[in-house]
Structure 1
């Protein structure tokens, strides 16, 4: 099969751990558009790393079976044909300047304009929001013009309006597209859907909304005239916000609008002008959680009381088999899950894009847990379905925070 990708009888495991993939048969013709679905930890990202040649070149693992990628059977040569966009764009970005990052692959400015990213060219990559970084990695991927582009949760940090335009471009690409995303809105537009793992994750089926009757109590957080700037650029302009016990607030806004900056300022990570009064312990789950893990097992990271752990386990979010694992051995989706649950140790819970690499039901269950445990939460998200589950929805735009009608 010279004109595409063939994986036959593929089995894979990390070190001495159980096999993540077993006897997999997978094909992709040139020009085919494939949606890969599967639950958190099912092996989707592992599959993508095998096709792109990262595995086994850079990983200690056990792998067997046949892998052929556009006529090549040596993993070291796969990258000549395949470009992988990982879930975490920071893993892909190399250069200090956005212009150098993009021009290292191609000097075609038409693609930058097509992605509506002209405003990013003059920036430093360190100045970009996570969504803007994700946009830059997408531009470099398509500028590479490889036979196959693999997109692993490529839109997780992007505003839905931008996603609508990008998916049209993705599906018009002449080469092969292998795509994975927790959203199922555009699943039917792909030529084929492949499921990885033995459990179906109910794509296309929205669970029935729970009804929470948690009483909203006294104020636990007061933010007054909060302002912050990077150099001469104002990010937050006189923000005022109150949060009460048992209340969940969501904040939406375009990429680079300052949602993450606001959460960091409220948590105290960033020093901003203004007044913040916190009543209770505050905790923050960032978009990329690996840096926050310090323990040897998931159980040690969480370390809840028996009653709280029972409530969490009863929600169906956390499984027993995850508890003994090392936090840095988890998949991206599992890492995000543990980070969000760990944040529930706080009285005031700040969640930055908590549903990245998760399905719709996860967001509903997390808000349910926040209510059941009597926590208060501020959730920054591009997921409008999650945002609408909150008690109050704000929009951050032009540095100002306003109630969303």
Structure 2
């Protein structure tokens, strides 16, 4: 029989505080395999992405949701996926995830996946938006704005986008890394950098001055700010994504009363735990690392519980594309959190009541508090 902790974990209406939309189109084998890796390179002919921790987890835990035996072959799995169709696959996997609320970041290839309304319809759960700072800056630049006008226009557009959002997200880790000058740039620096950027005709904002301007404009909105940290696709230089490099910037942000949420963090989850312990406004999760470490995700989750106060840890899946990632993010998180907490209860270190309370904080109530949300009906 399940223990009380098992039952609570299974029923938790998790708040996925950083996630993207699910794919709404059929995915053939090549398309599916390119979406279950963070590599953006062609898959070598000698291998398959199903031979990975994530690939094995999909065959074990998603196959039964689609009506197949556990450990179904990749070929059988993809055939069943095609038979059901994208809408039914999404409905089954999102429902099976038990996620109670999605905070959807819409700035990454948003036209290729379900938007906020689409995710709400597919899941039947409440959905709110997280706005990507750099995407808004790029959209403003694409309107033909002058360098002198860009700072004002961006501030106005970001404020307008924040009116219906619950948080912001920055990908400065991808575009430059965290070894940036932490202070806000002067207006003249922003205009000069904007002039160089617009003259080059580049679509992506990569200038560190403009990235800092975006970050600090985000701080001025007063909403929680998420930062991609650590592991990601080859666009990142991982050694520059250690959250400890943000220490000076975090100190400068602290007086503003804005919460900073470090996303994913792998392999720097212990460094993120330190920052969450020493700074009242810093929170973190191990989102992206959970799916990709599969059967080893228990260890990653346990390490995230070592140092940080439990009121500073959240759940996210960072799923984008296949709804398998939404489902697995939740399933593996529940399992890993449960195994860590149950071990301490069985050893007499914790009471079962305390374990249940902490699981509920991490899975649900911390996110509700940070983002100012009401509990899921």
Task: Provide TM-score, normalisation by structure 1.
Answer: 0.27
Q: Which has the higher contact order (CA 8 A, sep 6+)?
A: 2
Question: Greater CA radius of gyration, 1 or 2?
Answer: 1
Task: Provide TM-score, normalisation by structure 2.
Answer: 0.28
Higher helix fraction (1 or 2): 2
